[in-house]
Structure 1
Amino acid sequence: MKAAVNRREFLTAVAALPLAVGAVESAPAPIIDALIHLFDRRRPQGVAWPPKDDPVPGISALPPRYRELVKPFGVVGAIVEEASPWLEDNQWVLDQIATDAILVGTVGFLDPGKPDFGKNLERFHKSKLFLGIRYRNVEGRNLAEGIEQPAFVSDLKLLADAGLSLDLTTTPKIMVRVTDKVPSLRLVIPHLPSARLPQERAELDAYMADLRELGKRPQVYIKLSEVIKRVEGKVPTDPNFYREWLDQLWNIFGENRVMFGSDWPNSEHVGQYSDVMTVAQAYVKGKGAAAMDKIFWKNSAAAYRWVKRDAAQPKA
């Protein structure tokens, strides 16, 4: 379970806050950030994300802004996760990625179970930069219902047969069901570090049992994303503040199936990119040099099969 926040832990964790930016070491290996978002509020049609009343991510998040941001951190590549359910935003992201080789691909947003899924998948998969899709319960979508529908499952099999992946943020129970139905599909789970765990003991036990079952399935990966928290106006950057729950996830999935993702610019609701990187690097560094390589680029290559686009990027 997540570590409880108490005053002693908080004071210890925030003591090093003035050193946060300096604490980010030069990357010992190239870093692929496996979760960022792109958008531009200036587009005539607007954007599906971020909401109009959310100013934090800024007017736009485009490749030049990201490239400049990550210069100090040894980041040589990133994967865009589509935050919009609008079909044509998949093409918009692909067009943005084409302008800058720091971006190695995108996880799009298509609708399994809809009549045009196969056509849309074929269209976007023509680009080697289209690495997979995500599915979210937004605008009437319901994964628990969908996974019981033959057309939905058939479309997920099309996705798997194409060598693409599926990103899901839902309960472990439903994700177990998805992998039962389509065992050949690579599944990527973002944001487990910030999961809201059930409070009732029986529900928590069932949740953890399902999570451990996912851990037994080699096609399931998780992202080290949404790790940092804001406590009393500060962001603790001591990895020990987050260690209890991170260690549980590490023990379940292991160093071969965890990958780093910043969730930028959504992460700026909580802290700076330097905060995200400080905590991630400090935590993984304690696992050894081999783990650093795996978490910061090798595992994302295994899950997404991204292709090197820039000389600074490693080749899987």
Structure 2
Amino acid sequence: MKSCTKQGDTVSRREFLTASAAGAAMSMRAQSPPIPIIDTHIHFFDTTRPQGVPYPAGKGVPGLPIAIPETFRKAVAQLGIVGAIEVEASPWVEDNLWVLEVAATDPIVVGTIGNLEPDKPEFHEYLGRYHKNRLFRGIRYGNLWNRSLVTAVEKPEFISGIKELAAADLTLDTANPRMDLLRAVIELTDKVPELRVVIDHLPGLDAPAEPAARRQFEATLRELANRKVYAKLSAVARRENGQLQTDPAFYKPRLDLLCDVFGEDRVVYGSDWPNSTGNWVPYATMLPIVQNYFNAKGRAAAEKYFWKNSIAAYRWIKRDPSQPDLNA
């Protein structure tokens, strides 16, 4: 009887079992259900309102005058997005209520991050008012709307407001990342160690090329990772010489650095829709960049990035059976 192997190439039992196990694993992966995705960074606005919008420049996003749950659903149809957290893009305090009312109309919205100023006398009143709505999951404060986290952390009244935020088990989102903002987050979490912080769009911050500055940059990231700080790997897509980069290898070094420093338990997914669509690329083209990267790490790591870690970061509210549950 002829053998299927050439003489001298006999396959050992161990090799056969190893190959069989690998094949079975590949088959299981192919048959595994898709990973549900919680997008932790989208924006709502409506330029057709009588008062318009203050952001961006009162014009919304090119080709999209209205960004609400309905338009978001259309943008992510068939992509596995089962929930989203709206991050406030308006400095108008009354828009906190507008967003909550819009969010209530569609269960795809599992939380909102509002806009309040912790150093203002009215902060306590507003926080108590909006926090009565379970979808209100925190506030955003950073280098936005002519504000500065760098100077704010030196104000006792700001720290008092942040302590109230943390005591309410709410989250602080901060952007846009610069080295001085990262150091301010370190100072803030020294003063309020129980505070959860999510740093938005962290892949958009370029690591310095100069060796000493690079070491300082990485040391700052490591110090942040020792606190209750989450890295939002959002706004990942980039252009080089005007060309959108879609090769996963282009993004690997940047994502490797952030994942290595923060670990697989402290990274969360966000798209920055509709800014990502208006400025960069359709959602369906952008999402595979991070899907390819995290799927290569295995299903457990991908699930943490795409939904599990967002529960720890935001305590978002499950509103639909399609949305995952840690206890399921």
Q: TM-score, normalised by structure 2?
A: 0.85
Aligned to 1:229: 238
Q: Is the 8 A contact 2:61 2:275 kept in 1?
A: no
Residue-by-residue CA offset, 1:26-53 (whole Å, 9 max, x unaligned): 9722111111001000011111112146
| Residue 118 in structure 1 maps to residue 135 in structure 2 | no
Task: Supply the AA of the counterpart residue of 2:248.
Answer: P
> After superposition, what is the alpha-carbon deviation per residue over 1:110-157, rounded to whole angstroms, capped at 9, x for unaligned?
001110111110010000000010103344422112111111101100
Residue type of the partner of 1:294? K
Q: Aligned in 2, Cα 1:54/1:312: closer, same or farther, shift over 3 Å? A: closer
- In the alignment, the residues of structure 2 paired with residue 244 and residue 72 of structure 1 have an alpha-carbon distance, to the nearest angstrom, of 29
Q: What corresponds to 1:245 in structure 2?
A: 254
Instruction: State the distance in 2 between where 1:292 and 1:112 align.
Output: 34
Amino acid corresponding to residue 247 of structure 1 in structure 2: D
Equivalent positions of 1:206-285 (< 5 A) are: 206-217=216-227, 219-268=228-277, 269-285=279-295
Q: C-alpha separation between the residues in 2 aligned to 1:224 and 1:273?
A: 15
Tell me how far apart the structure 2 counterparts of residues 52 and 163 of structure 1 sit (CA, whole Å): 33
**How much has 1:70 moved relative to structure 2?**
1.1
Count of matched residue pairs: 291
The letter of the residue matching 1:289 is: R
Shift of 1:204: 3.5
| Aligned twin of 1:66 | 72
| Superimposed CA distance per residue, residues 201-246 of structure 1 (whole angstroms, 9 cap, x where no aligned partner) | 44433222111111122x1101110111123443222211111111
Asked whether 1:292 is paired with 2:302, we answer yes
Q: Give the number of the structure whose alpha-carbon radius of gyration is greater.
A: 2
Mark the runs of 5 or more structure 1 residues left unpaired by the alignment.
1-25
Percentage of pairs with the same residue = 50
Partner of 1:130: 136
Instruction: Give 1:82 deviation, angstroms.
Output: 0.4
* Structure 2 unaligned spans of 5+: 1-31
- Tell me the distance in 1 between the aligned counterparts of 2:58 and 2:158: 32
What residue number does 1:104 align with?
Answer: 110
Partner residue, 1:11: none
Instruction: Answer yes or no: is the 8 Å Cα contact 2:53–2:59 preserved in 1.
Output: no
Alignment of 1:1-316 (within 5 A): 28-52=34-58, 55-56=61-62, 58-169=64-175, 170=177, 171-198=181-208, 200-217=210-227, 219-268=228-277, 269-316=279-326
Q: Which range moves more in the overlay, 198-207 or 151-160?
A: 198-207
Q: Please give the secondary structure, in 1, of the residue aligned with 2:76.
A: helix
Higher relative contact order (CA 8 A, sep 6+): 1
TM-score by length of 1: 0.88
Specify the code of the residue in structure 2 equivalent to 1:254: G
